[in-house]
Amino acid sequence: MAGKFGRAGLTAALGAACAMLVALPPAAQAAPVAADPHAGTLAALKTFQAAAGPGAGVHAGDATNTWSLSVGTGTINTNAPIQPNEHYRIGSQTKTFTAATVLQLVDEGKVSLDAPIGKYLPGVVAGNGYDGNAITVRHLLHHTSGVAVYEPFSTPPARNPDGTYSLEALVREGLKRPPASAPGTAFLYSNTNYLILGMLVEKTTGMPVHRAVTDRIVTPLGLTRTVFPAPGDHLLPTPAVHGYHGVRIGGFYFWSRVLDYDPSVFSSAGAMISTEEDLTKFYQALIGGKIVSPAALAEMEKTAGADFEGIGYGLGLLRRDLPCGGSAWGHNGMVPGYYTQTMVTADGRHVSVVTNAHLATNIPSAQMDKVVTTALCENR
């Protein structure tokens, strides 16, 4: 642990060191110590972890170099720094995979962004004030559908006999909440939008959404440590970052392992598993034009109607305007046990961050943002 100095104490310490250095003969002088190029990011990561889970890790770099930092531990009661190749549940970063799959279907002429969802899923978005003929595919991708907020883990629908959840049941449960606004008039982030899009993918491709995303994106990109688990698959592959529930009260904290749950409760809105390295590869491929056409990517990056101070939301993509200039694209995610974010820039800079707890209160979003922006703006 570094010592703490007041301004006077630090000046005195530096003065003493300089005096001693001057007194040494040339042969005894120590070589100057190079400054740590990642000191700012490490400081931000420590601040983040102090308000987050038992551990935190960051994997970052530019078009030619990558580096990783970790503080705390990936497994409580051990010294196990989080590594960039370790698996964790990525939560809503899944939405970008789902959005990219839908945009591939747009590229193939099988789906139109501005067609009503009722054209593809008749009768699904209906009743309780909803009209599937007024809500477009774009509205769902952009979270401007007016569909109300829904947290499926807190209020899940009835399970299937095998303990899994169907997309149809999740959507029905989500739509029990009345519309928050008219379609196309306001931004409101809702998991139900992406559960409906999961149904769209299944109807259009004729296969389960986990298989469609895997076959279209995960396998072609060689994301060997990325998994969209099938319903009923509870396994978190090894090596893994273990997720925890917990609270922080001042300097005290209490952690317990996340209870087992079926990831199908999040499905196309948040079920996937990946690593810092694989997520970086995915977002770089997407922004680099290797997953969807240039025209489709341009649509994904349109944030009009969902622009806020320093950030914007496109079609499954979050934009962060950087303090050093330019913007980064990616997404964040929060599920039981994990809080994550990955962002990349067009010139090859990238950052992926994970902590192994999702705190229900006092979420350290500002501290997460500081890690992201500091890493992306190093030496700029």
> What SS3 class is residue 58?
strand
The tokens of 341 are what? 């974010």
Which token pair is 366? 């500002």
As given in the structure block, the two tokens for residue 272 are 């996937």
User: By the 8 A CB rule, do 329 and 301 touch?
Assistant: yes
Rounded Cα gap, residues 246 and 118, in angstroms: 42
The encoded tokens of residue 147 equal 């569909």
CB 147 within 8 A of CB 192: yes
As given in the structure block, the two tokens for residue 89 are 């549940």
Nearest to 321 by CA among 305, 336, 308, 310: 310
68 tagged catalytic? no
* Catalytic residue of the set 70, 92, 264, 267: 92
Could you tell me how far CA 286 lies from the centroid of its own chain?
Answer: 15
Q: Are 302 and 116 in contact (CB under 8 A)?
A: no
DSSP3 helix / strand / coil % (the chain, rounded to 5): 35, 20, 45
CA distance 75 to 88: 12
CA diameter of the chain: 86
Q: Which helix (H) or strand (E) holds 273?
A: strand 273-274
Which is it for the CA torsion 197, 222, 109, 288, positive or negative?
A: positive
φ, ψ for residue 332, nearest 5 deg:
-115, 175
Q: Which residues have a catalytic role annotated? A: 92
